[in-house]
């Protein structure tokens, strides 16, 4: 009886607020009473129980005997397993999710009304292996199947790596360790000392033995970096984006998310998991975004989710304009700075910091009036420019504490190992004061873009550190990547759908401070050889076709690099490429 009551109290509003002793007292028959008590009287007033009691009164004695067993589970989840011949989603019914679940505001579950299992059936069991192979075959047919190359980056020879054969070395031109911090002694020596002192693993979740002083200090550094009250570290920024958007948007009543068309998969997944309504605006199209914002009640909670650097095309999000629209229409901003942290700004806080470069260089504190202060939520990674692993969010203290308290992706996973956290923290601290790595990376990027432009090899135009070389179909991109690796000792991964749209397949090149002039010459010569051998389309060919992905457009936009000559120390240089060549050759 006690167990039944405890289960029933979870679903009934009356039982939920009534103590067990009170229920026992109500169920006791008064002196002289024969058929009723106060609890039954209460039940007859209930819109659910009154119908159940009415149905029970009309049940035959034989049927009633078969329904004596008490069940505290929801009946919709006790239906027998479907027959192997049953069709999916046939005869579905909509069941509201209880209001206290994270997805209650927008989601419904639609379990299938399943048919009983026939134990005497001769039907063949489902062929799982054939299903797997069928799905893989689709990938092979549309040329989107992903091949993972065996690449082992060498810390002492960065950006060199060996393949599956240790003696076969190649130059890596596509890693996201943009600044080569993964091999920097600032990280590696700190990590070694931490490993010796604290061991390999964190020991548990943040709630259970995995909340060390190192984690708290790293979060303080990240909060300071982004001019925010608090920060929270996750196992990756994929998890940070997914968990944060899912939790926040499901908690905000009736929330609507406005999402840039090119947002990363982690953000898209978080939106799906939230169950919130989503409105997609065309990439960086502020007119379209405002039209969508106007279509929603001003009092409705709204999130505008976007990125600062879009990693596959290198475009930059219009941060100022989005902040203005957010204020105008009562939205909060969610800015993904994953491919910008460590890379932009006087302290490496990202594009938002870079937009007020001089101000943030002189007064790197919260409340200095820069656009960084106007962003509500910033997410970033420790696994790219910082050379380590992990992700994080930064925002107000209350926001961070709410995500800490509710996000399953944070609560129920083992925290980052102490050695990883210490290395990441030292990298963040180091790049707050060193601009050398950022400047060298930008200079080498300028050189590569300029050299390819001279040859007509099509680079998707952008103001960032990404060099996307357009091929236009998956087979060509794969062929170019394979030949660079097998014949030229250069590793550049091909990028296909769904990472980029069909017809915009490309090579994604990422110069680093470690690529010297000889390496740049070899890359450019190798690309020219492959383009000539296979007659891959050059800029003029794309012009003739009307352009694609920003290449060969009739009226191309004028794009200036985000890093200015002054910020790179090139103001007084007459021949910039020559100065770049001298500088880049000094980097091992």
Give the model's pLDDT for residue 282. 97
pLDDT at 201 over 70: yes
pLDDT of residue 312: 96
DSSP sequence for 72-103: -S-GGG-PPPPPTTPPTT-SB--EEPPTTSTT
Least confident of 52-61, 143-152, 525-534: 52-61
- Residues 86-101: tens digit of each pLDDT: 333 333 333 333 333 3
Query: What is the predicted pLDDT for the residue at 89?
Result: 30
Instruction: Give yes or no for residue 108 having a pLDDT over 50.
Output: no
Confirm whether pTM is higher than 0.85.
no
Is the confidence at residue 212, as pLDDT, over 80? yes
Position 23 confidence tier, pLDDT thresholds 50, 70, 90: low
- β partners of residue 63: none
At 380-396, the pLDDT tens digits run: 999 999 999 999 999 99
64 has pLDDT over 50: no
β-bridge pairing 490-491 and 277-281: unpaired
Q: So what's the pLDDT on residue 256?
A: 98
What pLDDT sits at residue 146? 87
Q: Of 444, 426, 446, 394, whose CA–CA distance to 217 is shortest?
A: 426
pLDDT for 543-558, tens place per residue?
Answer: 999 999 999 998 888 8
Distance (Å, whole) CA 20 – CA 41: 17
User: Token pair for residue 183?
Assistant: 């091999």
Distance from the first to the final alpha carbon of the chain: 75
Whether residue 105 has pLDDT greater than 60: no
pLDDT of residue 135: 95
How many other CB atoms are there within 10 angstroms of residue 406's CB atom?
A: 16
Using CA atoms, how far residue 445 sits from 122, 467, 513, 581, in Å, is 65, 7, 9, 12
Q: Other C-beta atoms within 10 Å of 484: how many?
A: 25
List the catalytic residues.
384
Among 288, 299, 373, 366, which residue's Cα sits nearest to residue 335? 373
Angle at 201 between CA 377 and CA 230, to 5 degrees: 20
Q: Label residue 154 by pLDDT band (50, 70, 90).
A: very high
For residue 29, the tally of other CB atoms under 10 A from its CB is 13
Q: What is the mean pLDDT of residues 172-184?
A: 97
pLDDT band at 164 (very low <50, low <70, confident <90, very high): very high
Confidence of residue 142 (pLDDT cuts 50, 70, 90): confident
Query: For residue range 226-281, what is the model confidence (pLDDT) as tens digits?
Result: 999 999 999 999 999 999 999 999 999 999 999 999 999 999 999 999 999 999 99
pLDDT digits (tens, 9 = 90+) for 333-384: 999 999 999 999 999 999 999 999 999 999 999 999 999 999 999 999 999 9
Q: 119 falls in which pLDDT band (50, 70, 90)?
A: low
Give the model's pLDDT for residue 392. Answer: 98
pLDDT score, position 72: 34
Sheet holding 490-491, edge to edge: 152-153, 160-162, 169-172, 490-491
Tell me how far apart the alpha carbons of residues 348 and 369 are, in angstroms, rounded to a whole number.
Answer: 18
Greatest C-alpha distance within the chain: 108
Q: How far is CA 307 from CA 259, 322, 369, 378, in A?
A: 10, 11, 21, 10
Report the C-alpha gap between 59 and 62 in whole angstroms: 8
């Amino acid at each position: 009886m006690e167990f039944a009551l405890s289960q029933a109290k979870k679903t009934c509003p009356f039982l939920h607020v009534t103590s067990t002793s009170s229920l026992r007292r109500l169920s006791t028959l008064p002196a002289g009473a024969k058929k009723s008590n106060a609890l039954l009287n209460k039940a007859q007033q209930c819109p659910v129980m009154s119908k159940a009691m009415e149905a029970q009164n009309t049940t035959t004695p034989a049927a009633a005997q078969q329904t004596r067993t008490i069940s505290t589970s929801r009946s919709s989840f006790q239906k027998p397993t479907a027959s192997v011949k049953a069709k999916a989603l046939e005869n579905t019914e909509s069941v509201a999710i209880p209001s206290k679940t994270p997805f209650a505001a927008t989601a419904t579950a639609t379990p299938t009304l399943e048919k009983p299992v026939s134990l005497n059936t001769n039907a063949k069991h489902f062929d799982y292996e054939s299903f797997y192979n069928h799905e893989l075959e689709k990938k092979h047919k549309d040329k989107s199947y992903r091949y993972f190359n065996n690449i082992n980056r060498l810390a002492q020879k960065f950006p060199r790596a060996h393949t599956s054969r240790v003696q076969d070395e190649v130059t890596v031109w596509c890693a996201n360790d943009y600044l080569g911090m993964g091999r920097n002694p600032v990280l590696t020596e700190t990590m070694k000392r931490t490993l010796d002192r604290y061991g390999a693993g964190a020991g548990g979740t943040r709630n259970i033995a995995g909340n060390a002083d190192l984690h708290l200090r790293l979060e303080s550094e990240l909060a300071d970096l982004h001019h925010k009250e608090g920060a929270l570290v996750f196992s990756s920024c994929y998890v940070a984006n997914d968990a944060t958007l899912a939790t926040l948007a499901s908690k905000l009543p009736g929330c609507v998310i406005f999402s840039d068309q090119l947002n990363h998969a982690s953000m898209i997944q978080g939106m799906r998991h939230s169950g919130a309504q989503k409105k997609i605006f065309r990439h960086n199209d502020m007119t379209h975004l405002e039209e969508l914002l106007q279509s929603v009640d001003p009092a409705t909670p709204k999130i505008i989710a976007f990125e600062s650097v879009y990693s596959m095309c290198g475009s930059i999000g219009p941060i100022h304009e989005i902040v203005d629209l957010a204020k105008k229409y009562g939205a909060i901003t969610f800015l993904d700075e994953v491919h910008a942290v460590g890379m932009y700004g006087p302290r490496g806080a990202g594009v938002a910091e870079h937009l007020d470069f001089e101000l943030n260089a002189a007064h790197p504190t919260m409340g200095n009036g820069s656009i960084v202060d106007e962003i509500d939520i910033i997410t970033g990674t420790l696994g790219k420019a910082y050379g380590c692993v992990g992700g994080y969010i930064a925002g107000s203290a209350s926001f961070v504490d709410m995500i800490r308290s509710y996000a399953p992706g944070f609560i129920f996973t083992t925290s980052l190992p102490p050695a990883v956290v210490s290395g990441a923290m030292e990298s963040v601290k180091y790049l707050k004061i060193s601009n050398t790595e950022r400047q060298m990376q930008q200079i080498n990027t300028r050189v590569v873009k300029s050299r390819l432009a001279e040859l007509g090899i099509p680079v998707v135009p952008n103001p960032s550190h990404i060099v996307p070389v357009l091929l236009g179909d998956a087979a060509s991109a794969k062929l170019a990547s394979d030949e660079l690796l097998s014949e030229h000792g250069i590793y550049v991964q091909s990028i296909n759908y769904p990472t980029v749209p069909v017809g915009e397949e490309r090579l994604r090149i990422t110069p680093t401070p470690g690529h010297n002039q000889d390496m740049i010459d070899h890359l450019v010569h190798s690309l020219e050889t492959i383009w000539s051998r296979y007659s891959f389309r050059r800029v003029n060919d794309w012009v003739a076709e009307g352009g694609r992905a920003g290449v060969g457009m009739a009226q191309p936009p004028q794009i200036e690099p985000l890093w200015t000559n002054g910020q790179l120390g090139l103001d007084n240089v007459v021949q910039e490429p020559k100065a770049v060549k001298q500088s880049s050759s000094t980097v091992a």
